[in-house]
Chains A and B, each alone.
Chain A
Amino acid sequence: MDIILKIKEAGLVGRGGASFPTATKWETVKNAPGDKKYVVCNASEGEPGVKKDLFIFKNHAERMVDGMKIALDYLGAETGYIYINPSYYNKLARKLNKLIKDTKIILFKKDHRAGYIGGDESALVNHIEGRRIEPRLRPPYIATNGLWNYPTLVNNVETFYNVSLVSAGEYENKRFITIGGDCPNEGVFYFDENWPIEKILRETNNYPKFKFFVQIGGDASGEVLNSSQFNKPVSGAGSITVYSAIKHKPNDLMRKWAYFFFNESCGQCTPCREGTYRLKEALKKKNIDWQLVYDLLGNLEETSFCGLGLVAAVPFKSYFNNVYKAYD
């Protein structure tokens, strides 16, 4: 069977966090006119608390490379890039270079200064091209106008891993989940994608006895949930972080998030450049102006240039709604 049909049948979605249907993306790149096409594996993994791409590199790198090769073949693409987190590069470059020897795949070390924003597919494309590392105005989309304006397929490490499984008929609708925080058995686990959070925590002997809440899909942009909301599967990037409700003071957590987004903002648009800075400053105060905090978060959500600015409000708002209100 044709690979695209297999991907469709398996219902693969992107594992970078956005869960975009993989087959749709592949077909868009395939159908886009262009003398050349490119494939990029996004191994930026800039979201704190998510380590699954590193885990795949360590344990299943050949499958990830296989997935990329399948994409290169399907698209008749010129070159594939592995856009890799710099600390992963230092650990794994030799191993990966051996694997991609005699292929069209090149290892591209992400710059330290690329940070969180380097994970945005258009920022990553800018980086490889040698431009300023920040998101592009879309449309046009990367699938049709990516690297050097050629159609470009950008998929996450786990997505390519899944493509390899699908191609071999071995895909079992599982996903990698990083578990961390206030729990005894930290690590990366592999479970059915429909398993609810509670089941995962119990299965890994990580379900706390103390009052806690979790953040799923990353320690920065992930959604915060209370214990009555654990019956749903993990969404976004695959991670669960456990927080002791006693240990983590609400304002400290929010300050941490605010500082993260402030520090990672590329500076392109007003709501993110200025807004995350003002948010950080507002939360520093002894008497916090909550109306201001709320306005700034709403503004990030409504008017940010890229997805990373848009999701900046998620941890704060979900924390307010699911933890702050529920536990107080």
Chain B
Amino acid sequence: MIKIKINGKEFFAEEGETVRLVALRNGIDIPGLCDHPDFKPKANCRLCYVEIKGQKKPTRSCTALVEDGMEVTTESERVSKMRNTNLELIFAEHIEKCPTCVWRFECPLLKMADKYKIKLTRFPDRKAGRKTYKFANAVEIDGSQCIDCRSCVDACAMQKIYYLELKGKGIEQEVVPTNDKKKHCILCGQCAVHCPVSAAQEQTHWEAVEKIIKSQKKIVVAQFAPSIRVSIGEDFNMPYGKVMTEHVVAGLKKLGFNYVFDVNFAADLTTVVEAEELLERIKTKGVLPMFTSCCPAWINYVELYRPDLIPNITTSRSPQIHGGGFVKTYWAKKMNINPKDIVVVSIMPCTAKKYEAKRKEMKIGGNFPVDYVLTTREFSFMLKKNEIDLTELQPISADSPFGEYTGGAAIFGGSGGVIESALRTAQFFAFGDNEVCKFQVDFKDVRGLEGVKEAMVDVAGNKLRIAVVNGIGNVKPVLDNLKNYDYVEVMSCPGGCIGGGGQPIPTTPEIRQKRIAALYEIDKSCELRQSFENKGVMEMLDWAKEQGKHTEHKILHTEYKKRK
């Protein structure tokens, strides 16, 4: 353990840590735009200078490693001159689109301009002519807002997708999609969640959603994902990992949504469908290993890169599609509403969910189960735009019947959660009621933030070999050794959905850890922890069965196809 002083105050640090990391951890703000704990320092923005006692020149705190007894000062005339000039230069790279920018309430550029009293306009903007590159209907990079920090390129490389590249030199430098026809964007949005200035961003739906709510012509239903309840609080100054379930409901109601459902309910449903399919595959010696399908970026990956593995993916739809599907069938009938008059809006931690929602094969009776997908960031933007402070709202429970959930659903948002939930249910189904002592609830081997996790689970005498891939960049060793596994979960984003491409910024290893821990806390506090115990789910599944094989299949299952 090392002790250093920053601005006269003493702090503990670990060997190998940078000065900036230690400062930020202790709430001392050192500006910086290119540094992210997920990546090696790039040191290209040149903003994070500090004075270190004994050194002649100010040093960059993103690369300076702590030493015992080091004395750091974060302000000096020289530091401020260096930082401010570079800030002015960076401002002129970024065309302000503040009125419609989902990032305007969190924008570090605006915050720094305010804090350091810098004019945003010392230099005229130079990127007006830059292109916006759109990736399917989910993600985009707006070159006119890019400040050349390159973190999006690093994020794409972390995912081992390498779709984003740098083109040109000097002021011509630009982040572009690759020309290599063998590389494809899987829409994971890690570029967006690592972009400090919202140049890489989601293709927004908030405008459309706002319009529909205002028009009052439709029944507008919101459904929110398992993981956003543990992340949204960060945008409202709550500590990392604060559980905000009922505040989220209240916020959505305040925005004018007529009904608010919890995707946790649908996650229980997905669990049951998937567990049944797993057991069926084992029984009939079907294609194994079976892959989870909840992560739409992973589905894109398989369809684009490994279509040969399509038979391995569970045909179960994902929770948002299950949820939306039941809203527009079961619930519409029950409420006596024409499904065409219902608009379902998902609040997701994810950019790829926007693409998933618009897949034609998802349609049931001509209707998309989900009409719009907002990211966590878009949701928090809508709240702030309407001056709604989530933390001040009176908590409200989600609407029935899509309100109840078990602990199994709650953990869907973290890496390992989907498979753990499915195993809880599959084991019960396989062993049956009489052998209660033989099944377990906690599968700790599949938890945590390692790249690949493995476990062996006994399901009615079958030893299932489990793998959990945490981050698509780690998928290769598992795909190279498929014969070693029976059931595999893949989440494209590090940490799973809690680290998703639509989540609040920053999302760092430490923050992922806290969000995921909060999910397990919810799980522990649930009275029911196995999805099949969710009575509403079992009722809906029975109802689906009564609608006949064709309709049941439409609502519960999907298909995949080779692309490109």
A contact set with B: CB distance below 8 Å: 113, 117, 132-134, 137, 262-271, 273-278, 295-296, 298-299, 302-305
Beyond contacts A137-B40, A137-B41, A274-B93: 20 other A-B pairs, Cβ-Cβ < 8 A, are: A132-B166, A133-B169, A134-B169, A137-B63, A262-B171, A264-B170, A265-B170, A265-B171, A267-B168, A268-B44, A269-B43, A269-B46, A270-B46, A270-B47, A270-B89, A273-B173, A275-B89, A276-B170, A299-B81, A302-B58
CB distance from A302 to the nearest CB of B (A): 5
Does chain A have a CB within 8 A of B57?
A: yes
Contact partners of B40 in chain A: CB under 8 A: 137
A303 touches B49 (CB 8 A): yes
Contact partners of A262 in chain B: CB under 8 A: 170-171
Contact partners of A270 in chain B: CB under 8 A: 44-47, 86, 89-90, 148
| A265 vs B40: C-alpha distance when bound (angstroms) | 23
Partner of B169, one of A113, A137, A275: A113
Contact partners of A305 in chain B: CB under 8 A: 43-44, 46
CB distance from B420 to the nearest CB of A (A): 39
| A120 vs B166: C-alpha distance when bound (angstroms) | 20
| A117 vs B44: C-alpha distance when bound (angstroms) | 16
Does chain A have a CB within 8 A of B172?
A: yes
**What 1/0 mask marks residues of chain B from 57 to 88 whose CB sits below 8 Å from any chain A CB?**
11000010000000000000010011001100
Contact partners of B148 in chain A: CB under 8 A: 267, 270, 273
By secondary structure, the A interface counts as: helix
Contact partners of B340 in chain A: CB under 8 A: none
B85 touches A295 (CB 8 A): yes
CB distance from B79 to the nearest CB of A (A): 10
A277 touches B49 (CB 8 A): no
- List the count of A-B residue pairs having beta carbons below 8 Å apart: 87
10 contacts between A and B (CB under 8 A): A132-B166, A134-B169, A137-B41, A137-B42, A137-B63, A270-B90, A271-B46, A271-B85, A273-B170, A277-B126
| A269 vs B89: C-alpha distance when bound (angstroms) | 11
| A295 vs B87: C-alpha distance when bound (angstroms) | 13
B170 touches A263 (CB 8 A): yes
Contact partners of A266 in chain B: CB under 8 A: 169-170
Contact partners of B90 in chain A: CB under 8 A: 270, 274
Per the 8 Å Cβ criterion, residues 158-203 of B in contact with A are: 166, 168-173
Does chain A have a CB within 8 A of B11?
A: no
Contact partners of B82 in chain A: CB under 8 A: 299, 302-303
| A77 vs B479: C-alpha distance when bound (angstroms) | 39
Closest residue on chain A to residue B122 by CB atoms: A292
Contact partners of B45 in chain A: CB under 8 A: 269-270
Partner of A271, one of B89, B166, B170: B89
Closest residue on chain A to residue B92 by CB atoms: A274
Contact partners of A133 in chain B: CB under 8 A: 169
A271 touches B123 (CB 8 A): no
| A51 vs B86: C-alpha distance when bound (angstroms) | 35
Contact partners of B42 in chain A: CB under 8 A: 137
Partner of A278, one of B58, B81, B89, B173: B89
| A278 vs B90: C-alpha distance when bound (angstroms) | 11
**What 1/0 mask marks residues of chain B from 2 to 16 whose CB sits below 8 Å from any chain A CB?**
000000000000000
Partner of B173, one of A113, A264, A267, A299: A267
A269 touches B44 (CB 8 A): yes
B43 touches A137 (CB 8 A): yes
User: Closest 10 CB pairs between A and B?
Assistant: A267-B173, A274-B89, A299-B85, A265-B170, A303-B46, A270-B86, A267-B170, A267-B169, A269-B44, A270-B46
Closest residue on chain B to residue A280 by CB atoms: B171
| A276 vs B360: C-alpha distance when bound (angstroms) | 50
CB distance from B341 to the nearest CB of A (A): 52
Contact partners of B92 in chain A: CB under 8 A: 274, 278
A296 touches B85 (CB 8 A): yes
Contact partners of A137 in chain B: CB under 8 A: 40-43, 63
Closest residue on chain B to residue A132 by CB atoms: B166
CB distance from A16 to the nearest CB of B (A): 22
Closest residue on chain B to residue A299 by CB atoms: B85
Closest residue on chain A to residue B41 by CB atoms: A137
Partner of B172, one of A267, A274, A295, A299: A267
| A303 vs B88: C-alpha distance when bound (angstroms) | 14
Closest residue on chain A to residue B147 by CB atoms: A270
Contact partners of B57 in chain A: CB under 8 A: 302
Per the 8 Å Cβ criterion, residues 117-140 of B in contact with A are: 123, 126
Closest residue on chain A to residue B62 by CB atoms: A137
Contact partners of B126 in chain A: CB under 8 A: 277
CB distance from B30 to the nearest CB of A (A): 15
| A271 vs B83: C-alpha distance when bound (angstroms) | 10
CB distance from B148 to the nearest CB of A (A): 7
| A275 vs B122: C-alpha distance when bound (angstroms) | 13
Contact partners of B47 in chain A: CB under 8 A: 270
CB distance from A311 to the nearest CB of B (A): 16
A267 touches B46 (CB 8 A): no
